[in-house]
Amino acid sequence: QVRLVESGGGLVQAGGSLRLSCAASGSIFGIKPMGWYRQAPGKGRELVAVMAEDGSTTYADSVKGRFTISRDNAKNTVDLQMNSLKPEDTAVYYCNVGFWVGGARYDYWGQGTQVTVSS
């Protein structure tokens, strides 16, 4: 079983910054893709940023240039530095470990942390 614990959410004014952190523990064998998703009220969950095993990154277009994902493989942690925040970034942010094994998809999620950006 994999456990993900997030921290760092909160309330910030537009233009401000927040840093989210996620620590993974449990039965993780090897380095797996880790990333962040978010879900705003009334909307579906969307990818924010993900870092693959090789360090390559993928960002949602809406956050490119403002958000930066980083990870520490030795500690199984992944962080999301969010700068120049906008009210539309308001959402619950979820840490994710997701990977494929033999054609089956495995996704593990944290409990979510609220990010609220005031205008």
Q: What pLDDT does 100 receive? A: 87
Q: What pLDDT does 119 receive? A: 93
CB atoms within 10 A of CB 35: 23
Per-residue pLDDT of 27-54, as tens digits, reads 766 778 999 999 999 999 999 999 998 8
The overall average pLDDT reported for the chain is 93
**Cβ atoms of residues 82 and 20 within 8 Å:** yes
Q: What pLDDT does 1 receive? A: 81
Q: What pLDDT does 101 receive? A: 87
If you average pLDDT over residues 22-30, what whole number do you get? Answer: 80
If you average pLDDT over residues 89-97, what whole number do you get? Answer: 97
